[in-house]
């Protein structure tokens, strides 16, 4: 293909705006804007219930908006929108659907008011922890609800991320995802100082990652003269004079995305933010942000990096091996359950990177399925963690119990919740008949097909080691004597619904994955 053909493709990209194909994203973003207006004008006493109802309704309508698109759109051919800034193809359609499923499940614990009818978020986040103002806010039962429209904004950015065909759009989507999460991470009702520290770390390190991405964009723009990924891909075979500029730009772009997935050595924020953020927000980040970043990275890799993958392989393999090692071995020594799952998420990031090899068959469907199974189990696990609380002298559930020793005997006192938690841990470990086993099998198979057998061997060893800390928690829950001062938050019906759906999906996707995999075979990425 000559550079003359690039002009033809550029003309093809100027197709304008398709309301039907953009409907799910627009519903979520406009829903978030209306949510901000509701926060401003709805009376304080009705605000929380109105926002909860509105947020769930927005995500449900966005899911319904996919129906006409799937019926009228050719998933294999794709279509460029907004002068080529966005690409709608099978991959982006299913990526958006995955984001909405994750978002809907993550919203359920967020909107729940457990125990003495309080949420996971501070009534007035601007109050100084322990101050008279905070005491007055708690006494009045005042509850700000801006966290819900912020969640919708972040979800909208996650949906745009895998659609982005422009590096500038990719960066804007990254900021739409990140900025709400910086604020949401600081809103924990209990341990607020730890929550604010986590938010500050997330913001500072996220700013560094954004800076790396911007620098990479400038290098790639200087190399190709275009911000569009497909134009960059077309220029690579003809711009042979400055390969260092191309390689450096691609590496810096990948660094920004690797930060979001928590890959080593860009993982330093992950344990602290997972621990300090409100637990429903942690579940949302662990499932949604990681999935969105992986999907955007897969498009960038399949469109651009694949053309010089042989030169890029040492970088990618080093990151994958280091990520698996850090997630595996640091997770072994954790006593805080949220930090343990943080290192578990780092290890899983390394497992998914195995599918990023040239020639990997069905890599798109493997990554999508893995992210679906991991996201479902992660939201379910953090929903259970949200319910396990410290019991005060009066037997009232207060702050969450994050110490693994406090979970001793949990299987004897609450066998159903402990059984669901064990199911999610088995899925993380990749035990057969769980969704996690199928996801790991697909990712590792893609790696073998792509010539990354050595990586797969390292991943199998790491996966066996990570099973130790999953089974360690299982042993604590079912075999150790019952711990004192540990209870479960009452009045958590909505959270129970989320846990039940996640448990059901974990089993069904492990036993009957065929129908979902058949659908995911249409996840072709449009390549210029």
Max mean pLDDT range (77-86, 142-151, 275-284, 383-392)? 275-284
Structural domain count, the chain: 1
Percent of the chain with pLDDT over 90: 61
pLDDT recorded at residue 6: 40
DSSP assigned state of 336: B
Q: Which of 359, 374, 333 is nearest to 466 (CA)?
A: 333
Residue pointed to by tokens 């996201």: 375
Average pLDDT of the segment spanning 114-124: 77
Average pLDDT of the segment spanning 91-109: 94
Per-residue pLDDT reduced to its tens digit, 237-286: 877 667 888 999 999 999 999 999 999 899 989 999 999 999 999 999 99
- 362, pLDDT greater than 80: no
Average pLDDT of the segment spanning 16-24: 80
Least confident of 32-41, 185-194, 433-442: 185-194
The answer to the question of residue 527 being in a domain is: no
The answer to the question of residue 528 being in a domain is: no
pLDDT recorded at residue 485: 85
The answer to the question of residue 142 being in a domain is: yes
The whole domain housing 53 covers: 3-520
Least confident of 94-98, 348-352, 353-357, 422-426: 353-357
Average pLDDT of the segment spanning 295-318: 89
- 75, pLDDT greater than 90: no
Give the alpha-carbon dihedral of 458, 461, 467, 468, to 10 degrees: -120
Residue pointed to by tokens 């669901």: 420
Residue pointed to by tokens 């929903």: 383
- 5, pLDDT greater than 50: no
The predicted model scores a pTM of 0.93
Q: Which of 217, 210, 226 is nearest to 174 (CA)?
A: 210
Peptide bond into 20 cis (omega under 30): no
Average pLDDT, the chain: 88
Least confident of 140-149, 167-176, 186-195, 321-330: 140-149
* Alpha-carbon distances of 502 from 438, 440, 460, 466, rounded to whole Å: 16, 18, 25, 22
pLDDT recorded at residue 1: 34
- 62, pLDDT greater than 70: yes
pLDDT recorded at residue 9: 40
The answer to the question of residue 440 being in a domain is: yes
Q: In this structure, are residues 257 and 300 in contact, taking their beta carbons and an 8 Å threshold?
A: yes
Work out the pLDDT band at 28, boundaries 50, 70, 90. Answer: very high
With vertex at residue 360, the alpha carbon angle to CA 358 and CA 362, rounded to the nearest 5 degrees, is: 140
Work out the pLDDT band at 203, boundaries 50, 70, 90. Answer: very high
Q: In this structure, are residues 296 and 372 in contact, taking their beta carbons and an 8 Å threshold?
A: no
How many Å apart are CA 298 and CA 170, to the nearest integer?
13
Average pLDDT of the segment spanning 364-392: 93
pLDDT recorded at residue 364: 86
Which string of DSSP letters, residue by residue, matches 85-152? TEEESHHHHHHHHHHHHHHHHHHHHHH--BTTTB-SB-SSTTSPTTSHHHHHHHHHT----THHHHHH
- 15, pLDDT greater than 70: no
**277's tokens:** 């953020």
Distance of CA 528 to the CA centre of its chain: 28
Which string of DSSP letters, residue by residue, matches 254-293? HHHHHHHHT-TTS-THHHHHHHHS-HHHHHHIIIIIHHHH
- 450, pLDDT greater than 90: no
Q: In this structure, are residues 371 and 295 in contact, taking their beta carbons and an 8 Å threshold?
A: yes
Average pLDDT of the segment spanning 379-394: 89
Percent of the chain with pLDDT over 70: 92
- 493, pLDDT greater than 70: yes
- 200, pLDDT greater than 90: yes
pLDDT recorded at residue 190: 84
Average pLDDT of the segment spanning 149-163: 95
Least confident of 86-90, 169-173, 424-428: 86-90
264 Rama sector, left if φ>0, alpha if ψ -120 to 50, beta otherwise: beta
Burial of residue 179 (CB within 10 Å: 0-12, 13-18, 19+) is middle
The answer to the question of residue 526 being in a domain is: no
Work out the pLDDT band at 76, boundaries 50, 70, 90. Answer: low
What contacts 385, CB < 8 A, 6 or more positions away? 279, 337, 338, 341, 400, 402
Three-class SS string for 202-241?
A: HHHHHHHHHHHHHHHHHHHHHHHCCCEHHHHHHHCCCCCC
Residue 64: other Cβ atoms inside 10 A:
12
- 473, pLDDT greater than 90: yes
**384's tokens:** 């259970």
Q: In this structure, are residues 346 and 313 in contact, taking their beta carbons and an 8 Å threshold?
A: no
- 142, pLDDT greater than 90: no
Higher pLDDT, 448 or 241: 448
pLDDT recorded at residue 237: 82
Which string of DSSP letters, residue by residue, matches 387-410? HEEEE-TTS-EEEE--BGGGGTTH
Q: Which of 472, 479, 372, 467 is nearest to 428 (CA)?
A: 467
């Amino acid at each position: 293909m000559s550079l003359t053909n690039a002009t033809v493709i550029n003309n093809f990209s100027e197709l304008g705006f398709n309301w039907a194909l953009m409907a799910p994203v627009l519903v979520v973003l406009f829903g978030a804007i209306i949510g901000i207006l509701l926060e401003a004008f709805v009376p304080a006493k009705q605000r929380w219930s109105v926002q909860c109802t509105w947020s769930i309704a927005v995500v449900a309508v966005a899911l319904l908006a996919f129906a006409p698109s799937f019926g009228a759109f050719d998933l294999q051919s794709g279509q460029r929108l907004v002068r080529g800034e966005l690409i709608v193809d099978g991959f982006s359609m299913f990526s958006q659907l995955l984001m909405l499923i994750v978002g809907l499940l993550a919203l359920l614990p967020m909107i729940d008011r457990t125990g003495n009818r309080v949420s996971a978020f501070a009534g007035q986040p601007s109050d100084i922890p322990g101050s008279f103002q905070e005491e007055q806010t708690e006494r009045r039962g005042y509850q700000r609800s801006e966290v819900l429209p912020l969640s919708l904004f972040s979800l909208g950015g996650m949906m745009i991320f895998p659609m982005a065909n422009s590096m500038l759009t990719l960066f804007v989507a990254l900021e739409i995802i990140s900025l709400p999460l910086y604020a949401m991470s600081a809103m924990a009702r209990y341990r607020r100082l730890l929550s604010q520290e986590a938010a500050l770390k997330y913001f500072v390190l996220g700013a560094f990652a954004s800076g790396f991405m911007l620098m990479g964009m400038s290098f790639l723009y200087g190399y190709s003269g275009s911000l569009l990924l497909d134009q960059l891909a077309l220029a690579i075979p003809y711009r042979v004079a400055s390969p260092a500029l191309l390689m450096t730009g691609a590496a810096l772009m990948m660094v920004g995305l690797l930060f979001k997935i928590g890959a080593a050595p860009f993982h330093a924020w992950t344990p602290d933010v997972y621990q300090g953020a409100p637990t429903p927000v942690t579940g949302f980040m662990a499932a949604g942000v990681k999935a969105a970043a992986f999907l955007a990275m897969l498009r960038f890799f399949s469109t651009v990096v694949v053309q010089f993958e042989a030169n890029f392989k040492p970088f990618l393999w080093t990151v994958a091996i280091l990520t698996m090692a850090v997630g595996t071995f640091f997770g072994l020594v954790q006593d805080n359950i949220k930090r343990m799952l943080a290192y578990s998420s780092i290890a899983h990031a390394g497992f998914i990177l195995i599918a990023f090899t040239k020639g990997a068959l069905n890599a798109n469907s493997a990554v999508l399925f893995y992210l679906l199974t991991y996201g479902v189990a992660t939201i379910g696990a953090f929903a259970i963690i949200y319910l396990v609380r410290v019991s005060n002298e009066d037997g009232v559930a207060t702050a969450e119990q994050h110490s693994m020793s406090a979970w001793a005997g949990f299987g004897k006192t609450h066998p159903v919740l402990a059984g669901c938690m064990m199911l999610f841990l088995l899925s993380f470990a990749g035990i057969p008949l769980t969704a996690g086993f199928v996801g790991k099998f697909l990712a590792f198979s893609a790696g073998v097909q792509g010539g990354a057998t050595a990586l797969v061997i390292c991943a199998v060893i790491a996966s066996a080691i990570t099973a130790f800390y999953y089974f360690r928690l299982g042993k604590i829950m079912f075999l150790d004597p019952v711990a004192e001062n540990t209870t479960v938050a009452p009045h958590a019906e909505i959270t129970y619904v989320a846990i039940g759906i996640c448990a059901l999906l974990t089993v069904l996707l492990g036993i009957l994955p065929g129908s979902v995999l058949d659908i995911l075979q249409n996840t072709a990425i449009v390549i210029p």
